[in-house]
Amino acid sequence: MFVQTTDDPLDEVLKPPPDESPEHRAIRLQNEAEAKSVSLAIDAGIKAELHARRKKRIVRLLLLGQSESGKSTTLRQFQRLYTPTAFREERILWRAVIQLNIVRSIRTILNALTFPSTSRHTSPYSSPRSRAHTIFLPPLPNHPPLPSIEYELYNGNGNDTTLTFGSSSPTSVNRHPHHHSHSPPSNPDSDADSESDFVYPHQHGHYPHRSPPSNPSITLAPTPGLDALKARLLPLRHIEALLIAKLVPPNEEEATYFARVGAGSSAGASSSTRTSTSNLSAGSGYGTNHRYRNQEIFVRPGPGWKGGLARAIAGNTGLETQDEPQEVLNMCRSDIIALWHDEGVREVLRRRKIRLEEGSGFFLDDLERLTSLKYMPTDDDVLKARLKTVGASEYKFEMEATAGRDSGTEWRIVDTGGSRSQRPTWAPFFDDVDAIIFLAPISGFDQVLSEDRTVNRLFDGMTVAVCSSSLPFFRAPWTLVDTKLLPFLLPCLCFHEDSILLWKAVCSNKLLANVDLVLLLNKCDILEKKLKLGIQVSKYIRSYGDRKNDLDSVSKYLRNKFSAIHRQYSPNPRKFYAFFTSVTDTATTAGIIASVRDMVFRQTLKQSKLL
């Protein structure tokens, strides 16, 4: 029976009729009882859901470390292990990145063969014999004609070659003298070009091994073999532009920065091709502006670039795709393989100290498979692919049931860009993080930072940085520190810029005082290779002294260094977790990631007093 306690007009409506019969009343009461129980059940469901949501654990991990330390690769390992279906589905999207990695490796080789390496040889125009040429290339198959674009390439025998792709091009490759606007300026140092420290191939396109001369310079010889090979590899420049245009959104200002700096002629290019044009001009920029030739293509983390690629290949299985870069790679396959396996080329790279196989995105040892028309990236390929990160982004993982007791926990992993200009983006994540995974690529003891070639990756570069508790480290980008300002920036410490410096900064940061730090001493596989090649650690790290130059001794020595810093700089005592890793190695990394996950999970429970 309703008890009317309010003046609610609804009550008036719901009031039983005054002449309600006993039968009708019984039915009405039964209906009301049923409605009430349904309503109660709904309320209970909502309550339970709210309760479950409140109970749901969220663990937030932050990946830190210098550029190329392996942060994004570690994230991909997490994805591979904990969201395998999504990881597998996305493999096809990585093909473009791998193609770009291959093309860039080839470009590095061709540049090494072409450009003199000594500091006085900074201009490809410096030869008095320089003359520009134009090569007209036919439009590539299965691709709409591109506007006519010109690129310049120093072809190694004193001539500049301008390449033109476009619908107006003749159908055969031929050369003719280029107009005067591309004529090389005269250079008073031009005689210097008659000698350089690189080996030229002989006339049949092979690169004979030459024993090192007593003088590090090697006299140049005419190089028709190399010219022919390079001409056959020219389409790689075209696909480099296509790939960049595919991967970098057209509105990406930063990605095209260096292109604009090194831009050549791009008149007539449509706005959609301007990205590729200007980036190709950057390709020409490595002819005319050497300092930009190592610029990396990057993407902002998150699904953005993948979304664009996915749309581009929508409806395609990836097996019978008409993928132009793949077709061009396939077409150039034998030349690429010949180039990479040539002893003479290897010798040039050795002399130039270019060790592609130790660098990022190295795929040249597997060209047969990777250049096949039906190539589909494997898990390992995806892990080895290199795509620089800019900015920071959070990735969510629901652990699957197989993950055991932490199933239902939501893991949020933040991947960050590690190059110097990116480090200020780390700070906003510091106040809400459960653990930090810090990657230190210990193979970098004999390398310099790609963004500053005066700075050793691990130890010995001398750079000034500002670090103080009152001036948050990461909000004071080192790049902004001007030496003129130094007297005003106190306290000011002189650091050795490198992974060690970063580790010190992370350990000492007060915001992170209660955050667990997990150190991955990464790239052990490369370290091992270097040590086997006889590279002496003591040459680069003076304090290493006369310890054994083997993997065990070196890695333990480095771990102790990091551990000592952790002990000394942590504001509060905390445990030190360190692992030796090669995060591209799926077999070993799976176990390590499981340990890290368990350890972080336990600590999180402890801190939330659930354990």
Ligand X SMILES: Nc1nc2c(ncn2[C@@H]2O[C@H](COP(=O)(O)OP(=O)(O)OP(=O)(O)O)[C@@H](O)[C@H]2O)c(=O)[nH]1
124 binds, among Mg ion, ligand X, none (CB under 5 to 8 A by kind): none
The rounded distance, in Å, linking the Cα atoms of 609 and 416 is 30
With contact defined as beta carbons under 8 Å apart, do 166 and 146 qualify? yes
456 binds, among ligand X, Mg ion, none (CB under 5 to 8 A by kind): none
Instruction: Select 197 or 366, whichever has its Cβ closest to ligand X.
Output: 366
Minimum CB separation of residue 581 from ligand X in Å reads: 6
Contact region with Mg ion (CB under 5 A), list: 63-71, 145-153, 264-272, 476-484: 63-71
CA distances from 50 to 56, 101, 308, 400 (A): 10, 48, 37, 21
Minimum CB separation of residue 557 from Mg ion in Å reads: 27
- What is the three-class DSSP state of 395? strand
525 binds, among Mg ion, ligand X, none (CB under 5 to 8 A by kind): ligand X
**Nearest residue to 408 (alpha-carbon basis) of 420, 421, 416, 399:** 399
Size of the site for Mg ion (CB under 5 A): 3
Residue 313, CB half-sphere, CA atoms under 13 Å: how many? Answer: 25
80 binds, among ligand X, Mg ion, none (CB under 5 to 8 A by kind): none
326 binds, among ligand X, Mg ion, none (CB under 5 to 8 A by kind): none
Minimum CB separation of residue 71 from Mg ion in Å reads: 5
Cα dihedral sign for 185, 191, 197, 198?
Answer: positive
With contact defined as beta carbons under 8 Å apart, do 597 and 536 qualify? no
Amino acid code (one letter) for 533:
L
Q: How many CB atoms lie within 10 A of CB 63?
A: 27
Instruction: Select 71 or 384, whichever has its Cβ closest to Mg ion.
Output: 71
Minimum CB separation of residue 203 from ligand X in Å reads: 37
- For the stretch 193-209, what's the b/e string if a residue is b when 16 or more beta carbons lie within 10 angstroms of its beta carbon? beebbbbbbbeebbbee
67 binds, among Mg ion, ligand X, none (CB under 5 to 8 A by kind): ligand X
Write the Ramachandran bin of 609: left for phi over 0, alpha for psi from -120 to 50, otherwise beta: left
582 binds, among ligand X, Mg ion, none (CB under 5 to 8 A by kind): ligand X
Instruction: Select 324 or 446, whichever has its Cβ closest to ligand X.
Output: 446
The rounded distance, in Å, linking the Cα atoms of 363 and 356 is 9
Minimum CB separation of residue 73 from ligand X in Å reads: 3
Minimum CB separation of residue 583 from Mg ion in Å reads: 12
Residue 493 phi/psi, 5-degree rounding, is -120, 145
The rounded distance, in Å, linking the Cα atoms of 425 and 571 is 23
386 binds, among ligand X, Mg ion, none (CB under 5 to 8 A by kind): ligand X
Binding site residues, as ranges?
Answer: 383-389, 522-525
Minimum CB separation of residue 318 from Mg ion in Å reads: 24
| Sequence-distant (≥ 6) Cβ neighbours of residue 427 within 8 angstroms | 472, 474, 475
Minimum CB separation of residue 59 from Mg ion in Å reads: 21
Instruction: Select 71 or 230, whichever has its Cβ closest to ligand X.
Output: 71
Minimum CB separation of residue 518 from ligand X in Å reads: 15
Amino acid code (one letter) for 577:
Y
| Sequence-distant (≥ 6) Cβ neighbours of residue 479 within 8 angstroms | 420, 421
**Nearest residue to 496 (alpha-carbon basis) of 459, 537, 448:** 459
Instruction: Select 235 or 418, whichever has its Cβ closest to ligand X.
Output: 418
Amino acid code (one letter) for 87:
F
* Residues near ligand X (CB under 6 A): 65, 67-73, 360-361, 383-384, 386, 388-389, 417-419, 522-523, 525-526, 582-584
What character string, x for contact with Mg ion (CB under 5 A) and - otherwise, covers 70-99? -xx---------------------------
Token output for 308 = 């664009």
**Nearest residue to 154 (alpha-carbon basis) of 290, 294, 338, 343:** 290
Minimum CB separation of residue 65 from ligand X in Å reads: 6
The verdict on 101 binding Mg ion (CB under 5 A) reads no
Instruction: Select 198 or 478, whichever has its Cβ closest to ligand X.
Output: 478
Instruction: Select 74 or 321, whichever has its Cβ closest to ligand X.
Output: 74
Minimum CB separation of residue 81 from Mg ion in Å reads: 18
β-strand pairing of 435-441 with 58-65: parallel
**Nearest residue to 559 (alpha-carbon basis) of 540, 542, 539, 581:** 581
Amino acid code (one letter) for 340:
W
**Nearest residue to 165 (alpha-carbon basis) of 99, 239, 97, 93:** 239
Cα dihedral sign for 359, 361, 366, 367?
Answer: negative
570 binds, among Mg ion, ligand X, none (CB under 5 to 8 A by kind): none
The rounded distance, in Å, linking the Cα atoms of 25 and 22 is 5
Amino acid code (one letter) for 381:
D
Token output for 475 = 């909000």
With contact defined as beta carbons under 8 Å apart, do 68 and 418 qualify? yes
Binding site residues for Mg(2+), as ranges?
Answer: 389
With contact defined as beta carbons under 8 Å apart, do 486 and 542 qualify? no
What character string, x for contact with Mg ion (CB under 5 A) and - otherwise, covers 379-398? ----------x---------
230 binds, among ligand X, Mg ion, none (CB under 5 to 8 A by kind): none
Alpha helices in 433-585 (DSSP H): 499-508, 524-532, 551-569
Minimum CB separation of residue 527 from Mg ion in Å reads: 20
The rounded distance, in Å, linking the Cα atoms of 593 and 548 is 30
Instruction: Select 123 or 389, whichever has its Cβ closest to Mg ion.
Output: 389
**Nearest residue to 445 (alpha-carbon basis) of 493, 494, 495, 496:** 496
Binding site residues for GTP, as ranges?
Answer: 383-389, 522-525
Which residue ranges make up the site for Mg ion (CB under 5 A)? Answer: 71-72, 389
